Amino acid sequence: MSTHDPIAAAVPDPSKPTLDGTTNQYLSFFLGGEEYATNILSVQEIKGWDTVTRVPYSPDYILGVINLRGSIVPVVDLRVRFALPNAVFDAATVIIVVHVAGTRGDRIVGIVVDAVSDVYTLASENIKPPPDVMGAVDHLFVVGLASMDDKLVIILDIERLVTSSVQGDSKAA
Amino acid sequence: MSIDLEMEEILNLFFEESFEGLNTMESGLLTLKDGTDRETINTIFRAAHSIKGGAGTFGFMEISGFTHSVETLLDEMRNGTRAITPDALQVLLQSVDVIREMTQSAQAKQPIVMVGADALSGELTRILAQKVPAAASPDSTAANAAATPALAQNSEIHGEVQPPTRDHEPAIAAAAGALEGWRIVFTPDASLFKTCNDPMRIFDELANLGMLEVTANVDNVPSLTDLDPTQCFLSWTLSLHGAVEHARVAEVFDWVEASSKILYEPIYGGERCDVNDRPAVDVPQTAVQRSSGQADLQVVPQNAAKAGAESGSLRVATEKVDALINLVGELVITQSMLSRFAEKFEPEDIESLRRSLAQLTRNTRELQESVMQIRMLPIGFSFNRFPRLVHDLSRKLGKKVELKLSGESTELDKTVLEKIGDPMVHLVRNALDHGLESPAQRLAAGKSETGTLELNAFHEGGSIIIEVKDDGAGLNKERILAKARERGLVESDALLSDEHIFNLIFVAGFSTADTVSDVSGRGVGMDVVRRNINDLGGHVQIFSTQGKGSTIRIRLPLTLAILEGQVLRVGKEIYVASLVSIIETVQSTRDNLSCVAGRTELFKHRTDYLPIIRLHDLFGIEPDSRDIADGLLVVLEADGRRVAMLVDELLAQQQVVIKSLETNFKQVAGLAGATIHGDGTVALILDVPGLIRTFLERQSVQIGRAA
């Protein structure tokens, strides 16, 4: 109702980032010195680093599972997922808890990032489609690129990224 | 809107009460003998009466109309003006089924199909018309007179299903004498073949009863590319010509009845010309066609609604809720005691803080137990269906069976209770068909003519045991062994223990039955039974003595939500294993170890050699020590296989709450789930059968690579 309400100000489609002339809010975070962002409506909460229980037969970027108020939630280290160097754990390391559509209702997954940065409001025309070559980050997971002041922010399709990470073949790694 | 909601609530209450009443009627009818136990028949009558009244109030005139004619018959039995004959009881039992079906349709907000009810009305009228010697009293004539308008009213209500040209009066007259045959629309569930039922057999049996015309309806058959040959897409319209009782026709469909849509339409003699020529049958035909066209809508949702209703709500005894309220009351008191400390805390308060915390611990534990209790239901809910099943089945098989139930009040988790029903039905059918002999065979074997089937449930440790026990022929070891050799399941010179031989009957497709009947014998089934029970974390054992009978013993965990666990440590990681699967834990000396082919390590445990699972290798953990003599060997058993698992240390034994890994993550080989420790960290729960399977698979892969 009030224009100050960030959620109400955002557009109807909650999780899918769109390119159709609307405005969305994005939460940005750092991974190995680069700035990435995800649609804020996928984000459930941000929590500090916690003890993770390793799960056997998981790829290296699945750090394990944590207890999120009684639910067992897997944790994906995006720095390992994107093969970024120096994945250190320090005071700024946080887990962003996101919810994405799963096979049976919503799936809750934690992603580890170096630090959270900012919330940006971006109009879809300010988001440029990604180039075909994105290095370690598969361009399938990138919605687009946005220039903020003079920095580059990479907008991720968190749903696709998380689903592929969590469902990947456990014996592959 | 709130009125709508309230109405909905009241309606649901009516449905719930009606189903309860129908169950009461059913169990009452099964115990009813001509000894005329007044109280039993009164109970049945009252149940019927409340259903009629309720249905009338809510405007389900079809149900109240039909129930009224049932009530009339019951009333005569109650007044003693009519003898209680097996024939009448059978019709009453079928009426219960019909009323239940109508009520289910009403509950699912679907049109009530009257064909079954109409057929039975004919039967009821026939019975009511039969003059019983003692029934010459004026009071029964009055009742008879009352029945006729009731039936006439019946036909008025569902005029759309009834052929309009058919006047009910002649129909009743005809029903008393000149039944010419039956038109049956048989729409089986798609899973027909999977339940080992062959429609051809049913038709053959029908053909024995009279002249049979079969028309198949192929409308629902998909194109060849989409066709799943294991599914049944056909439905049939059958015309059976012959004065056969409804009961005998229905008997043929006994085995498919539950999963199929079967509509019976009597063909009466007086109307034969109409029947063969025009509207009279064309009308029901279209009615029938319409309902077969809606088959997907009608059959499936009904089942779905049923399944939904089963898991959706829970009836809880008032004492359980009261206990819960008491506990919450205590918890509130404890909480206020504790919050006092937050305001002002003096060092000397430490003792009373400790006391309060101890009380909180106790309250929490009690509360947890009570909440779990709510999900616990007596197994009687599952046993209740068996008297009817045994009654129907023994009639069909021509065997005399006495069913004994014990331990009905043994409680187990609702989920387990719901999932154990089908395997139990299968075991009971098996026991009746294969286990118990016919009266003649039993007499020849020097046993009493009536066989005994016992269903028994009791608690043992943290499990519930359910036994299905018969005093029939028992399993024939030689025959099982011969069959197994024939199929190459067993080496011809292998010596097997009894247990091993009996377990062969769980192999998929295994059957020693000489003839395949529609009851059982195709060898599908026992493997499904075992798989279902294993899925619930239980296991099955068979004990049998030839000539004396067999006992199938099912062991199940009381609940799927909590596990008696043994906490284990390997390196820095903590795992939980179900205590039930642990036989014992031993420290090994080097003398007890040996190695086969330089790869498979074996541990000599008593007289057995058990393969050793190194959990650290399997899960990729850095252990304290790789030397087996430094660690502990936990002897595990699952699916009849034993292994020794190497771990570093055993920690506490405790109850753990099972959490799903799959909800947010996925299934992981060797893990059954996760649990949360007191400190908030997650520990993974080992899936012992899965672990053993994974291990053996890896072994064979390694051996394959080495070769």
pLDDT number for residue A20:
57
Q: Do A65 and B670 touch (CB under 8 A)?
A: no
Report the pLDDT value the prediction gives residue B462, as an integer from 0 to 100: 67
Range(s) of the domain holding residue B94:
1-162
Residue B308, pLDDT score: 37
Helix B61-79 / helix B86-107 crossing angle, nearest 10 deg: 160
Residue B693 pLDDT exceeds 50: yes
> What is the structure's pLDDT at B5?
66
Residue of chain B nearest A162, judged by CA positions? B665
Give which of A43, A39, A37 is closest to A153, Cα–Cα: A37
Most confident region among B325-329, B424-428, B593-597 by mean pLDDT: B325-329
- At A43, the pLDDT band (50, 70, 90 cuts) reads very high
For residue B501, the model assigns a pLDDT of 80
Distance CA B49, CA B40 (A): 14
Q: Which of residues 664-693 of B touch A (CB under 8 A)?
A: 664-666, 668-671, 673-674, 676, 680-684
Query: Closest Cα partner for B677 from B582, B569, B581?
Result: B569
Same domain, B512 and B620: no
Residue B230, in any domain of the structure: yes
**3-state SS, residue B171:** helix
User: Which of these three, B531, B557, B583, is where a domain ends?
Assistant: B557
CATH node for A6-167: 2.40.50.180
**Which two tokens mark B229?**
């040959």
Provide the pLDDT for residue B143: 40
Determine the Cα–Cα distance for residues A27 and A46; give it in Å rounded to an integer: 11
Average pLDDT over residues B311-339: 84
> According to the model, what pLDDT value does residue B178 have?
63
Is the CB of A55 less than 8 angstroms away from the CB of B668?
yes
- Spatial neighbors of B550 by CB under 8 A, at least 6 apart, are B431, B435, B469, B470, B472, B474, B475, B542, B543, B544
pLDDT value at position B152?
Answer: 40
A52 vs B485, residue with greater confidence:
A52
pLDDT score at A21: 60
| Predicted-complex ipTM score | 0.79
Least reliable range by pLDDT among B49-63, B115-129, B282-296, B491-505: B282-296
pLDDT digits (tens, 9 = 90+) for B188-242: 877 777 666 777 777 777 777 777 878 887 777 777 777 777 777 788 888 877 7
Domain edge (last residue) among B277, B302, B327 = B302
Higher pLDDT, A16 or B635: B635
Q: For residue B518, what are its two tokens?
A: 């529609």
Could you tell me the two tokens for B104? 């289910």
Tens digits of per-residue pLDDT, B47-56? 888 888 888 8
Amino acid at B517: S
What is the overall mean pLDDT for chain B? 76
pLDDT at position B299, please? 33
Specify whether B576 is located in the same domain as B611: yes
Take residue B683 and report the two structure tokens written for it: 């520990």
Please report residues of A whose CB lies closer than 8 A to that of B682: 53, 64-67, 72
- The verdict on residue B169 lying in a domain is no
- Do B664 and A170 make contact, defined as CB atoms within 8 angstroms? no
Q: Indicate whether B200 and B258 sit together in one domain.
A: yes
Q: Do residues B131 and B78 make contact, with C-beta atoms less than 8 angstroms apart?
A: no
Q: What is the pLDDT of residue B592?
A: 79
| B-chain residue closest to A51, CA distance | B681
Pick among B665, B684, B686 to test the A interface (most A CBs inside 10 A)? B665
In b/e form, how buried is each residue of B599-630, taking b as 16+ CB within 10 angstroms? eebbbebeeeebbbbbbbebbebebeeeebee
Please determine, for residue A109, whether its predicted confidence score (pLDDT) is greater than 90.
yes
B104-124 per-position pLDDT tens digit: 888 888 777 777 777 788 878
CATH number of the CATH domain containing B32: 1.20.120.160
Nearest to A159 by CA among A9, A21, A14: A14
Residues in Cβ contact with A114 at an 8 Å cutoff, skipping those fewer than 6 apart? A29, A30, A31, A32, A79, A92, A93
Task: Judge whether B609 lies within some domain.
Answer: yes
The verdict on B627 and B594 lying in the same domain is yes
Give yes or no: residues B404 and B501 share one domain.
Answer: yes
Residues B614 and B700 in one domain: yes
Kindly indicate the confidence band of residue B63, based on its pLDDT and cuts at 50, 70 and 90: confident
User: How confident is the model at residue A103, as a pLDDT?
Assistant: 65
In a domain, B312, yes or no: no
**Is B134 in contact with B80 (CB distance < 8 Å)?**
yes
Q: Which residues contact B473 (CB under 8 A, 6 or more apart)?
A: B434, B435, B436, B437, B441, B445, B546, B547, B549
Question: B142 and B277 in one domain?
Answer: no
Please name the residues in contact with B228: beta carbons below 8 A apart, sequence gap of 6 or more: none
Task: Determine the pLDDT at residue A96.
Answer: 94
- pLDDT tens, B357-394? 888 888 888 888 888 778 788 888 888 888 888 888 88
Do residue B129 and residue B239 come from a single domain? no
Strand duo B671-676 + B211-217: pairing = unpaired
| pLDDT tens track for B512-559 | 655 444 445 444 577 778 888 877 877 788 888 888 888 999 988 777
Same domain, B249 and B331: no
Q: In this structure, are B356 and B280 located in the same domain?
A: no
Query: One-letter amino acid identity for A64?
Result: G
In a domain, B170, yes or no: no
User: What CA–CA distance (Å, rounded) separates B612 from B642?
Assistant: 10
Look at residue B265 and tell me whether its pLDDT is greater than 70.
yes
Residue A56 contacts B where some CB pair is shorter than 8 Å: yes
Mutate to test the interface with A, among B664, B681, B686, B697 (most CBs of A within 10 A): B664
Percent of chain B with pLDDT over 90: 6
Q: Residue B108 and residue B701: Cα distance in Å, rounded?
A: 53
The predicted-structure confidence for B621-663, as pLDDT tens digits, reads as follows 888 888 888 889 999 887 678 889 999 999 988 888 888 888 8
- Contact of A99 with chain B, judged by CB distance below 8 Å, is answered with no
B488: domain CATH number? 3.30.565.10
- How many Å lie between the alpha carbon of A104 and the closest alpha carbon of chain B? 7
Q: How buried is residue A73: exposed, middle or buried, by Cβ count under 10 Å (0-12/13-18/19+)?
A: buried
Predicted pLDDT at B172: 41
**Distance between first and last Cα of chain B:** 75
pLDDT exceeds 60 at position B396:
yes
What is the distance between the alpha carbons of residues A23 and A8, in angstroms, rounded to a whole number?
Answer: 12
Tell me which amino acid residue B212 is.
L
Q: Do B87 and B4 reside in the same domain of the chain?
A: yes
| A167 part of contact set with chain B, CB < 8 Å | yes
Q: Is residue B437 part of a domain?
A: yes
Separation in Å, CA of B313 to nearest CA in chain A: 21
Contact criterion met (CB < 8 Å) for A102 and B618:
no
User: In this model, does residue B464 exceed pLDDT 90?
Assistant: no
Which of these three, B361, B377, B393, is where a domain ends?
B377
Number of domains making up chain B: 5
Pair B536, B556: CB distance under 8 Å: yes
CB B675 within 8 A of CB B655: no
- B535 lies in the same domain as B603: no
Residue A103 touches partner B, C-beta closer than 8 Å: no
Flag the least confident range among A18-22, B593-597, B670-674.
A18-22
pLDDT at A45 over 90: yes
pLDDT of residue A97: 95
Which of the two residues, B377 and B175, has the higher pLDDT score?
A: B377
pLDDT recorded at residue B437: 86
Sign of the dihedral defined by the CA atoms of residues B625, B626, B631, B637, in that order: positive
Q: How far apart are the first and last CA of chain A?
A: 49
In a domain, B172, yes or no: no
Of B203-217, B306-320, B467-481, the least confident: B306-320
Q: What is the mean pLDDT of residues B674-702?
A: 83
Query: Which of these ranges, A85-89, A115-119, B368-372, B402-406, has the smallest mean pLDDT?
Result: A85-89
Q: Quick one: what percent of chain A has pLDDT higher than 70?
A: 79
